[in-house]
A and B are shown apart, each in its own frame.
Chain A
Amino acid sequence: MAETGSDRITITMDGTEVEVPRGQLLIAAAEEAGTYIPRFCWHPRMKPVGMCRMCLVEIETPRGRLLTTSCTTPVSDGLVVDTASDVAVKAQEGVLEFLLINHPLDCPVCDKGGECPLQDQTLAYGPGESRFVEPKRHFEKPIKISELILLDRERCILCARCTRFSSEVSGDPLLEFAERGTVTQVLTFPDEPFASYFSGNTVEICPVGALTAKPYRFRARPWDLEAVESVSLVDAVGSKVSVQSSQNEVVRINGVDNGPTNQGWLSDKDRFSFEYINSSQRLTVPLVRHNGEFEESSWTEALDLVAGKLGSMAGSAIAGLGGARSTNEEAFAFGKFLRTVVVTPHIDAQLADGLDPQFLATATPRAAIDDLDKARTILVWSADLKEELPVLYLRVRGAATTHGARIIVVHPRRTGLDDVATHKITYRPGRGPEVLRKLIAGDGTYAEARAALDDGPVVAIVGRPGLSEGPRLAEAVAAFARDLPAGKIMPVTRRGNVYGALDMGLAPTLLPGRVAASSEQGRSRLEDVWGPVPETAGKSAKGILEGLEEGTITGLVLLGSDPVRDFPDPGLAARALAGAEFVVSLDIFLSDSSHQADVVLPVESFAEVEGTVTNLEGRVQKVNRLVPGPGQSRPAWAVLDDLSRRMGGDLGAHSAEGISKEIATVAPAYRGFGWDMVDWGEGREGVILPLDEGEQPLQYVPVDPGLRSRSSAGLSLHLARVLYDDGVQTRMSPSLASLMPAAAVYLHPRDARALGVAEGDRVEASTDLGDAELVVAYDDSIARRTAYVPANLPETAMLGAAPGLTIERLEEVVG
């Protein structure tokens, strides 16, 4: 928002006139003007409460000078404030003394010691000695309030940051004050642990060491930490993080406040999944299969073998999958390797679990995350954002609670946003097209939601509510939403850098820089630099796996991709890998897929590589290296470069930054882009590369594909991901692994009754693609004749995402 003259007013601060934004809180205005007022409870991303009283200042009023908290006082024209009067200073010193009298001062063993606002402000503003000779207050310490978080009530200064975060920001009010007066304390409710996807944020914003998280407790002293700013690759939001290490091991990830994206907040998966980086199961040396068993090998032997094998096959008989968890530079190198060295068009970064690549990468008019704050109405017809894109969920929630946006949620069962939704439409998977038609028409019960959609600006978050629903429904919803008043669309899918991978051309239909593979002109411009690339369109992940099964494709190159676990038809994926003649996998772990490879090459991971990534709004940000990769692991781009030279090609990739320069040359949407634009400190916010303007090569205007509703006689399957699924980031992070939920098949109680099953019964659940033995659980929020199964849990991995599900009660074995 541009600030015009009238948005700024003049106040007198400590005798000097300063210009500040109208209506800003005094504490923030003062800081902007260069005067830091001490504080504990105030947090710029939460509503002020004026509880700690540390930020007391004196202001002039018609009735004389008044002590007031600067965090609750908006500036007004002509305000006269004294932040350092004798009265104000004495009050501040008094508050600090009050906070310290019962504080245990166990700083030597406190994880906050060294980065503690209470320590720092005591040094700056506090009394030099203690006058307190009474016994201190005692509580049992620390108490475990969740699987991840511990609370030490003796250290707590009752600033309400954690309680406000959990009630105001994350919407799971599991922390509250109990008791009153001197024994006031933060507590959880009986039998309700602080089981929040966002619990780690409270640890980070705690101004003392009252809240600590298991993964970091007693791991390091803050002054020994090395840190870089980077971007979380856990999901496609691109949350900004500070990665911190001690003795070359990542020990902590904190959030960094990037206004347009995460605003400082992280999901616990963003924050704690770093543990997988340090896993003892990381690959450290190349593995080559000899007589059915993996054996450790040298890089030279492994690369010679791979180059020889791939070189002996026809290019078009080889396919590549992956790159969605890589940097843009790695993804670009992968695409260039496949298109120019292997010479194959069969490339995909998604595993049939996302959306059409052109739609995802280039649909217009595209909403930025910040557009949510300006929207009057937000349509959410996608996966449950709380499960798949938790930080985006926080922004949508904030749009409702802080900015008053109307939220319309369309989903087969309850979602995290339901409590702030003004309208909720629950539908049976397969009936989406019919629901959309009714919504467009404003029929009957949909009239109010339809009317809300006519009140713009509208942002429509579109994606796949579940894996058993097709990808094209999202395009139909987008086609409707883009024509709404000031309508913008945000196509969403979950995986880390999938948008970057698509931008780098890791799709059968896309060339680097959002160019259609079918574009003669686009291809010829690329060939000017790269030399010849395949002319035909390639196969998608599904086509590739089918090709492998049939034998039309014989070689497979995987880059951090695990189709056996992630492809929605796990049987096909398993048969495909079994049928392949040669599979090479570049990975950080021996995944289910790399277990079936012929050669496995260890590559570096998050925090070990440098590069850029692109988030779901097209924002490019910088990822930085902090620690070395384990053993002999190498950056993926360097491995691909070596392979290329052995195969007679040349990627010309000598450094990640060098690759980025080539991206800026050949990828039209990235033209002119350079790392200097996004170096932290310089381009703190990152840059959104053009999506709407003339230089955007491909503009994908969604058109309603005219889908027909699918009806199934039996149960419809709603197969959807949960945050802590059985992926590498959860499974290989000990602190998170235990949080994986128990699997079940969720049924509406009335459907269960009709099917003759009850809660707790064991059933065989089957689709056309696979089956699973599961326990029945009731869910009265779910659409009738629909069964919800959480995807990718150990018990559900083999189920497969088919539209229909049958269940059969397993007879108890009488012993």
Chain B
Amino acid sequence: MSTSILTGRMNARPTDSHTLAAYEQTGGYVALRKALIEMDSAAVAAEVKASNIRGRGGANFPTGVKWGFLPPTFPRYLVVNGDESEPGTFKDRQLLERDPHQLVEGVILAAYGLEVQQAFIYIRGEYAKPARRVERAIADAYAAGYLGRDILGSGFDLEITLHLGAGAYICGEETALLNSLEGKRGEPRIKPPFPAVEGLYAKPTIVNNVETLSNLPWIVGKGGTTYAGLGPETSAGTRIFSVSGHVNNPGNFEVVMGLTWRELIFDLCGGIAGGRDLKCWIPGGASAPWFVPELHLDIPVTIDDTAAEASMLGSGAVVVMDESTNVVGAAHRIVRFFSHESCGQCTPCREGTTWLENVLARILDGRGRPADVELLLDVSDNISPGLKWPPAQTTICPLGPSAVSPITSILTHFRDEIDAMVGALEVPVG
């Protein structure tokens, strides 16, 4: 549990971990030197495959498998998804701000493994300081010969372009990100084709998360199989959990997966603030169905165990709510976020999320009707047919179904509370 792959440097060098000097003094760019001099591209890709690392952006798709989808055509691009915007998620921010060279080295290693000569780092526009740090790191890496032409005399060339987003959550969805990067509206594309086949500028493109790529220096340095040996077989490696809400000790925690939720919330985060009881928590970002203590506290924190309980580990954002929480209010706040962030291109998401938001707002305002519970469920069903997990969707991308998760969560676990709110009024509105 104390293994620090990603956060060791920033903890050890709290004031200068972001500098090239500190990075080089603590083993930085050693893996890159090894890869470029001793390994060919295929060998680097093989290490990533062997590590069993799964994407840390939220979908948890095996990175090595994703890389394998690239057709043998050139040019091809690598895009780093640093548009971290899921409410409750703040892990990439720390990696960007406090260990940018770790990411840059990861990008160079990935680009080498993928035979890419142009990479893009897309960072959400609100992350001004992290972006400045990354910009500086890229500049320093160029100056030190880690980027540009003939890197470290290996003959490998790579350019990295930094791009800032303009404030849309949806640009964290990889195809919307690619549209945004191309200067278009940030709207998800219809898939297939997937980006690996037809991505940026219609060329084969790999999109990987900041945290995913920040692991690469360690994986290449220590070997993929070493990484695979950390934690459960299908949830290899460490993960950074961003824990927020009613805990005594909120923050980012890097842990080897496999501990239980009880250990995460009560040991690592010091339990619930103010001595109150735990009511529920969101295990993997605002899109994830909620967990409750009576059912889920002793479930292991792994990708598969979370999925088996019809939720997801997602981006590792854990939001803890204590007994004082108005769950309808919490659900409304999340639905409002998704309706605000809907790109607007497809009907069920654009209209449906706003409808759900308005119904919840009306209920909170004391104007709920008994029929609203069925209405919420049926509108949700028209966005995410069957209300199952993983969700089906009538939409292009999963944003619409994400807005359904809090509604099914409160109706599954806290039906009494919402019934009380909608039944309290004698004269229905309408």
Contacts and interface: CB of A to CB of B under 8 A. Distances in A.
Interface of A: 48-54, 56, 67, 69, 72, 87, 90-91, 93-95, 97-99, 101-102, 131-134, 157-158, 160, 177, 179-184
Given A53-B395, A90-B385, A91-B394, A99 B347 contact: yes
A181 B382 contact: no
Contacts of B341: 180-181
Given A102-B351, A158-B345, 12 more contacts: A50-B346, A53-B347, A53-B396, A98-B352, A133-B430, A180-B168, A181-B339, A181-B342, A181-B343, A181-B354, A182-B354, A184-B345
Contacts of A48: 190
Interface string B318-347: 000000000000000000000111111111
B132 to A, nearest CB: 27
Most buried by B among A87, A98, A179: A98
A101 B357 CA distance: 14
Interface string B369-406: 00000010001011101100000111110000000000
Contacts of A133: 429-430
A160 B362 CA distance: 32
Q: By CB atoms of chain A within 10 A, which of B185, B353, B375, B394 has the most?
A: B394
Nearest to A184: B344
Contacts of A93: 382
A94 B392 contact: no
28 contacts: A49-B190, A49-B345, A50-B346, A51-B345, A51-B346, A51-B347, A54-B347, A56-B394, A90-B385, A91-B382, A93-B382, A94-B348, A97-B382, A98-B352, A99-B347, A133-B429, A133-B430, A134-B355, A134-B359, A177-B344, A180-B168, A180-B343, A181-B339, A181-B342, A182-B339, A182-B344, A182-B353, A184-B343
B190 A72 contact: yes
A67 B340 contact: no
Contacts of A54: 347
Contact of A94 (B345, B359, B382): B382
B382 A184 contact: no
Nearest to B351: A98
B392 A132 contact: no
A50 B386 CA distance: 21
Contacts of A180: 168, 170, 341-344
A238 to B, nearest CB: 36
A98 B348 contact: yes
Contacts of B347: 51-54, 95, 98-99, 157-158
Nearest to B371: A131
A67 B382 contact: no
Contacts of B392: 67
B348 A50 contact: no
B350 interface: yes
A416 B341 CA distance: 38
B358 interface: yes
Contacts of B355: 98, 101, 132, 134
A102 B352 CA distance: 11
B344 A101 contact: no
A67 B430 CA distance: 33
Nearest to A176: B185
A500 B142 CA distance: 69
A497 B343 CA distance: 49
Contact of B394 (A67, A157, A181, A183): A67
* Of listed B351, B394, B396, residue having the most chain A CB within 10 A: B351
A532 to B, nearest CB: 68
Contacts of A177: 185, 344-345
Given A177-B185, A181-B339, A182-B339, A158 B385 contact: no
Most B CB atoms within 10 A — which of A53, A54, A56?
A53
Contacts of A97: 382
A343 B321 CA distance: 101
Contacts of A50: 190, 346, 396
B190 A181 contact: no
A97 B375 CA distance: 12
Which of A48, A52, A54, A184 has most B Cβ within 10 Å? A184
Nearest to B382: A94
Nearest to B375: A131
Which of B348, B386, B396 neighbours the largest number of chain A CB atoms within 10 Å of its CB?
Answer: B348
A805 to B, nearest CB: 42
A53 B339 contact: no
A48 B339 CA distance: 25
A592 to B, nearest CB: 50
A494 B395 CA distance: 47
Contacts of B394: 53, 56, 67, 91, 94-95
Contacts of B343: 180-181, 184
Given A51-B345, A180-B342, A134 B362 contact: yes
Contacts of A87: 385-386
Contacts of B340: 181
Interface in B277-297: none
A102 B341 CA distance: 19
Given A90-B382, A131-B375, A52 B346 contact: yes
Contacts of A56: 394
